[in-house]
Structure formats: C-alpha cells, structure tokens
Amino acid sequence: MLAKIYITLKKDVLDPQGSVIANSLKSLGFNNVEDVRQGKFIEIKLNNKDKDDAQKQLGEMCEKLLANLVIEDYKIEIE
Amino acid sequence: MKSHVIVFPGSNCDRDVAVAIKSISGQKPEMLWHKETSIDHSDLIVVPGGFSYGDYLRCGAMASTSPIMQDVVKKAKEGVPVLGICNGFQILIESGLLDGALMRNSSLSFICQDVLIKSKNKSSVFTRKSKLAKMPIAHNEGNFFATSEQLKKIEDNDQIAFQYCDETGNVEQSSNPNGSLANIAGILNENKNVLGMMPHPERAAEKIHGCDDGKIIFESIFN
C-alpha cells in the first residue's frame, strides 16, 4: 500500500517561506491569494496487509523522525 | 582530559574543533566515526558543525539516528559534558537532548558573520568563565524556537547559555541575526551538562583567526 504524509508547520509558527511565496504569487497577478503555508510531502510504499497496523506504524514514523512535533503537524493518508 | 569528536558524513568543523581542543587542553581528541556504537570514558563529547547527511529532511534529523548517537545520549544522561556546535546543536535537538527547534533564519538567507554573545547561565561547565564574546555564525537554520511551556522551563531553570547582544551586552532585537526567540544563541539541558550553540567558538580560538574569544568556552571545560 502507499502512504502519503503531509507535514506542515503548526498554525502558530511563522512561515517566512510561505509569506514570500504568497507575495510572489501576488506579484504575478494572483491577487486572490490570502495566505500560503509551505510544507513537505512524503510518499512511503509499505508491504503491510492491514491498514490499521500501517496507520499506527506511520504515526510512529512521523513522531520519531518525519515530523518535528515542536513546530510541525502531520497528516497521513493511505491508498 | 579525554575528549571525543563525532564525525558524520557531511561534518566539516570536526578538524577545527580538534585543533582548538588540542591547543587548549594539550590533548588530541579521539575522532569517532558515526557508525561506531560506543564511546570509552570521556570528559567531553563534541558534536561538530557541518551539513550532516546534506541536511536531508531537517537539519540534524538523519544524524540523530546514527548508531553512535545512542551512546552520546546515554553518556549525556550519565552527566558527561556534551557540546554541540551549529549542526551539532541541531543534532542534539533532534536527538531529544535539548528542547526547542531550530528553524530557517527569519531572513531566509544563509548568514555568515561575527556576532556578539553573552552568557546568561554562569554556572555550567561551559559558561562559568564566560564574558561578552565575539565569534562567527554560519548557518541557514539557526532560528531558535520553543513552545511557550518550553521557553518558560528553559528560563526558569537557568538553561539559557548564550544570547545575541550588542557591544554593551544589551539583548535587543537589533542584535538578533536570525529571528531566534529571546535572542537565544545557545541552550543547556536541565542538568547543564549538554550545551548546544549556533556560534562557532572553534573558529575564534586563536589570534590568527582574528579573535580568540571562543577559547573561553574550551578553557571553561578544561580548567
């Protein structure tokens, strides 16, 4: 199965890269842009059969390595 | 005094630290490749600066899973002094030995310049001799962040080792090069035997460097 992991900065953590991207989009004429938050996207291929097991293990992977929980949140999607 | 310097793929300040330690303590440190699994008796373990594992995922994240780090964490918990400089600071945070996080500089630029720092804690093995000191920083991710609970704990427990300041020692936002919370340039763990700092004392350890203020940290440890 394939897992998709989204890692984003927590809401109360400033994202200067996101702000710069927002300004660049505006300078291209996309004046409807209100805010941009940048993050990471990781795909992990697993040989698990059980989706619940995979979900649990992916949570551990995020907490131990993939995300820094002081500044980041994570979201897991399994296909 | 027996000291060890950990070397990761991508470390680039390991030899500079070794030279500084040799000239100040008189004893050459042992260089330990990150694949090693144990450290003999040590009076100081240094996790040096550089770009371990090419800064993949997050600075220091990959190195924190290297085999040697298990023993570094164990020794740190037993009270052995551990010093992390720049990428070494990032690795110690990722290893869970120090609180907080080091984020991208608020300017989004790599910063390479001299800074002035003063020590807030004056009792640790690293800071007991400290005074206002000039040393260089060279980093892209040195913007110290902590949750409000972590910051309170760090402040209440006298864990702020160094703060960026001006020539008179004032800690002002104008002296903050990278956006760090409370101008923090270095922090200690709860027991004060682990120090992580962004400035490079080993790059200001001899007159030929233009400044030798960094010596004081090593002298503090060895004397």
Residue B130: predicted pLDDT: 87
What CATH number should be reported for the domain holding residue B36?
A: 3.40.50.880
Q: What is the span of the domain harbouring residue B117?
A: 3-222
Whole-angstrom distance, CA of residue B215 vs CA of residue B24:
7
Q: Which residues of chain A neighbour B100 with C-beta distances below 8 Å? A: 70
Does residue B200 have an active-site annotation? yes
Please name each of the domains of chain A with its CATH number.
2-78 (3.30.1280.10)
Rounded to an integer, what distance in angstroms lies between the CA atom of residue B102 and that of residue B127?
21
pLDDT value of residue B89: 98
Residue of A nearest to B105 (CA): A16
Q: Which residue of B58, B106, B107 is in closest CB contact with A68? A: B58
Map residue B17 onto helix, strand or coil. helix
Q: What is the band of A59 on the pLDDT scale with cuts at 50, 70, 90?
A: very high
* Residue pLDDT, tens place only, B76-94: 999 999 999 999 999 999 9
This prediction has a pTM of 0.94
pLDDT at B125 (0 to 100)? 96
Tokens describing residue B222: 């060895």
Count structural domains, chain B: 1
Cβ of A7 under 8 Å from any chain B Cβ?
Answer: no
In this prediction, residue B1 carries a pLDDT of: 85
**Edge-to-edge strands of the sheet including B133-139?**
B30-33, B3-7, B44-47, B82-85, B194-197, B184-188, B160-164, B111-119, B133-139
B13 is catalytic: no
Q: Does B153 touch chain A (CB under 8 A)?
A: no
User: Residues of A with CB below 8 A from B73's CB?
Assistant: none
Nearest CA-CA partner of B64 in A66, A69, A75 = A66
SS3 B157: coil
What whole-number percentage of chain B has pLDDT above 70? 100
Q: What is the pLDDT of residues B111-167, one digit of tens each?
A: 999 999 999 999 999 999 989 999 999 999 999 999 999 999 999 999 999 999 999
Catalytic site includes residue B4: no
B202 — phi, psi (to 5°)? -70, -15
Helix (H) or strand (E) holding B115: strand B111-119
Inspect the interface and report whether the beta carbons of A16 and B106 lie closer than 8 Å.
Answer: yes
Q: How far apart are CA B87 and CA B219, in angstroms?
A: 22
Average pLDDT of chain A is 95
Contacts of A17 in chain B (CB under 8 A): 104, 108
- pLDDT mean across residues, chain B: 96
Of A20, A40, A71, the CB nearest to B101: A71
Bridging pattern class, strands B160-164 and B111-119: antiparallel
Cα separation, B201 vs B28, whole angstroms: 17
Quick one: pLDDT band at residue B223, thresholds 50, 70, 90? confident
Cα gap B208→B100, rounded to integer Å: 35
Asked whether the predicted pLDDT for residue B50 surpasses 90, the reply is yes
The per-residue pLDDT for A3 is 97
